[in-house]
């Protein structure tokens, strides 16, 4: 980086936490070490804001939390700073494409997570991850306040095709990107992780060139492109790795902490 790091912005799942959603002691120590250097720390995720509540205390989060890939920005006390929604027409288009591809749609409003079937793939796992339950209902009845729609399938090839087809159908009117191999997230066109970098830049007068971003999925590449330095996790695919300045170890091998230690903290080790 050409200037001193002032802020680190990290993805959550597969980056800050392990595949089993564990925040390790070494990760906590790395964030503490950032603060001791005067470097601020923020998080962003496709999760709803309250799905990150368990991270606030152990990491002493004091900056805005960007849920839904930036679709809802909240203070650490959960008061809302801003919300970016999909239009009703966009939501209808997205739902049709997801269903036409044979994937399962989830709808997130400002206040709820709506699924068609509580027993569908990944619902129980996601509930365990975010620590709150969805509501089973006809998702088409909840299109007036849509912050994110997620297409879900365990067919990775299908999900990549769905991602491409959503991007083609929506153009620059909305953002569509895989947040996990089995999830494609669709949000407002300004609700993406690159937009989170820009928002933090404006709110705190910290240039994006003085920020480090960390992630592991295609939707993290937009924030990689905006920041002065980026660190991909070791399990990321080759495209994500190529988009990053540096590649750390995997999230299962302390990739978050090691990435900070090697490239930000200057060789601080456990």
Residue 240, pLDDT > 70, answer yes
Cα–Cα distance for residue pair 47/193, rounded to 1 Å: 12
Average pLDDT over residues 163-192: 95
Quick one: which of 172, 239, 241, 226 has its CA closest to 196? 226
pLDDT in tens, 114-156: 999 999 999 999 999 999 999 999 999 999 999 999 999 999 9
Task: Outline which parts of the chain fall under CATH 3.30.1240.10.
Answer: 88-188
What single-letter DSSP state applies at residue 258? H
Average pLDDT over residues 185-200: 95
Q: Is 173 helix (H, G, I), strand (E, B) or coil?
A: coil
Residue 3, pLDDT > 90, answer no
Quick one: which of 126, 144, 134, 149 has its CA closest to 69? 149
Strands 80-83 and 135-136: unpaired
The reported pLDDT for the residue numbered 236 is 97
Confidence band, pLDDT 50/70/90 cuts, at residue 270:
very low
CB atoms within 10 A of CB 20: 8
The reported pLDDT for the residue numbered 20 is 94
The reported pLDDT for the residue numbered 110 is 87
Quick one: which of 135, 140, 138 has its CA closest to 111? 135
Task: Classify 7-83+191-263 by CATH class.
Answer: alpha beta
Cα–Cα distance for residue pair 169/158, rounded to 1 Å: 16
CA 212 to mean position of chain CA atoms: 15
Contacts of 226 (CB under 8 A, 6+ apart): 194, 197, 198, 208, 211, 213
Is 187 buried (19+), middle (13-18) or exposed (0-12) by CB count in 10 A? buried
Task: Outline which parts of the chain fall under CATH 3.40.50.1000.
Answer: 7-83+191-263
| Contact yes or no for 264/39 (Cβ under 8 A) | yes
- Per the DSSP assignment, residues forming a β-bridge with 183 are 152, 180
Which option is the CATH number for 88-188: 3.30.470.20, 3.30.9.10, 3.30.1240.10, 3.90.79.10? Answer: 3.30.1240.10
The reported pLDDT for the residue numbered 269 is 42
Q: Is 184 helix (H, G, I), strand (E, B) or coil?
A: strand
């Amino acid at each position: 980086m050409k200037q001193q790091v002032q802020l680190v912005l990290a993805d959550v799942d597969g980056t800050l936490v392990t595949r089993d959603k564990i925040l390790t002691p070494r990760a906590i120590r790395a964030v503490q070490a950032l603060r001791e250097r005067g470097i601020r720390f923020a998080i962003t995720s496709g999760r709803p804001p309250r799905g990150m509540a368990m991270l606030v205390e152990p990491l002493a989060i004091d900056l805005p939390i960007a849920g839904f890939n930036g679709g809802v920005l909240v203070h650490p006390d959960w008061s809302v700073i801003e919300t970016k929604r999909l239009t009703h027409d966009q939501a209808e288009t997205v739902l049709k494409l997801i269903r036409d591809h044979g994937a399962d749609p989830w709808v997130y409003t400002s206040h709820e997570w709506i699924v068609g079937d509580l027993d569908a793939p990944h619902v129980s796992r996601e509930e365990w991850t975010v620590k709150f339950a969805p509501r089973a209902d006809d998702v088409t009845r909840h299109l007036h306040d849509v912050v994110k729609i997620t297409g879900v399938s365990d067919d990775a090839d299908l999900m990549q095709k769905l991602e491409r087809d959503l991007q083609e159908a929506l153009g620059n009117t909305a953002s569509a990107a895989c947040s996990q191999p089995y999830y494609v997230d669709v949000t407002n066109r300004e609700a993406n992780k690159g937009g989170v970098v820009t928002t933090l830049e404006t709110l705190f007068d910290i240039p994006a060139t003085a920020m480090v971003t960390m992630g592991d999925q295609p939707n993290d590449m937009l924030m990689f492109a905006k920041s002065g330095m980026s660190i991909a996790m070791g399990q990321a695919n080759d495209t994500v790795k190529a988009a990053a300045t540096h590649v750390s170890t995997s999230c299962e091998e302390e990739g978050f902490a090691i990435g900070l230690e090697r490239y930000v903290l200057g060789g601080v080790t456990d």
